[in-house]
Amino acid sequence: MKKTGPVEIVKPKDLQEAIALVRKGGMPLAGGTDVFVRIRKGFWDPPFLVYIGELPELRGIEFREDGAEVGAAVTHAELLRSKLPQKLPIFRLVLEKLGAPAIREMGTIGGNVANASPAGDTLIPLYLLEARVNTVGPEGERSLPIEEFILGPGKTALKPGEIIRSFWIPFPGGEPEAYFHKVGRRRALYIAVLSLGALVWLDGEVIQDARLALGAVAPTVIRARGVEEELRGRRLVREDLEPLCDKLAATTRPITDVRGPDWYRREATGRLLLGLLRLRRDTA
Ligand SMILES: Cc1cc2nc3c(=O)[nH]c(=O)nc-3n(C[C@H](O)[C@H](O)[C@H](O)COP(=O)(O)OP(=O)(O)OC[C@H]3O[C@@H](n4cnc5c(N)ncnc54)[C@H](O)[C@@H]3O)c2cc1C
């Protein structure tokens, strides 16, 4: 049913008040790029909204030797302007393709993850880097691996009253090459029909290690661990990758929706693996 009246927005004075308000049924509001769209379309009808976008505990990025802690209310544009893309180039590749500048200025990483969309772009680097989600709620703080936090489309492990406070993003060892390809139906401002993100550790043309994350081809973003294993020791050349395309396609569990049919998603995913050939230094 379409909402007709205005929705009340409450601005808590601190984190504790925010938690209490969310516990009472208020819906967290950060950048509002999803909340307002869905309320307007009548998909969501929260009793009231709790604006958490300026809570200091949810803001800021702290760099440590072994990783970065990113506040949930940090926007995509702030992430792009930070040192994070220098340290972890996969974030630059992904964030530059997320929405348009206005969406990136407003939308936050916490909002993107809390949505738990299989097409949520920031989930790709978070899965690849094996990030942890730090939550805070009436019963205190928790920290969960991203793969345990996301349960299904629109479903997370958040308990009543809990909000995402931050993300712990460990730096992977070595200097992996980063790859991201997002397929959409338009040239700009599109949600992924499917996407592949990868980190590849190379020794010359031999793959030492690889991590692959697929978006929009299963109920959640998924890691293709079977293919990751098979990539180890192969050369980054077409004849070594081609036999694994079908295997990558077989890891998907796509659906048909307005953005594309399941068969297309499955077949195209396999072919995306060949995109890794661009990581060859001689072809870059
Ligand atoms: C035109 C357009 C283009 C877009 N393009 C893309 C795209 O290319 N890729 C993509 O991935 N997304 C895209 N989006 C979706 C959206 O912009 C992102 O998901 C964005 O990151 C959401 O963040 P937000 O701060 O605006 O979330 P909000 O709208 O404020 O909140 C979204 C949801 O998260 C919850 N929430 C927010 N913060 C927290 C928190 N800290 N703890 C717990 N729950 C929280 C809210 O209650 C709500 O359920 C697009 C949206 C629009 C309108």
Q: Which atom of ligand 1 is nearest to the CA of 123?
A: 11
Protein residue closest via CA to atom 21 of ligand 1: 112
Q: Measured between alpha carbons, how far is residue 73 from residues 92, 143, 148, 157, 191 in Å?
A: 18, 17, 21, 18, 21
Q: Determine phi and psi for 80, rounding to 5 degrees.
A: -65, -35
pLDDT at 1: 45
* CATH superfamily label, 189-278: CO dehydrogenase flavoprotein, C-terminal domain (3.30.390.50)
Domain residue spans in the chain?
A: 9-51, 56-170, 189-278
193 lines ligand 1 (CB under 6 A): no
Question: Do 189-278 and 56-170 fall under one CATH topology?
Answer: no
pLDDT at 6: 82
Q: Which atom of ligand 1 is nearest to the CA of 49?
A: 47
> Which residues in the chain land under pLDDT 70?
1-5, 185-190, 258-259, 282-284
Cβ atoms within 10 Å, residue 194? 24
> Which class is 56-170 in CATH?
alpha beta
CA 33 / ligand 1 centre spacing (Å): 5
pLDDT at 283: 53
34 lines ligand 1 (CB under 6 A): yes
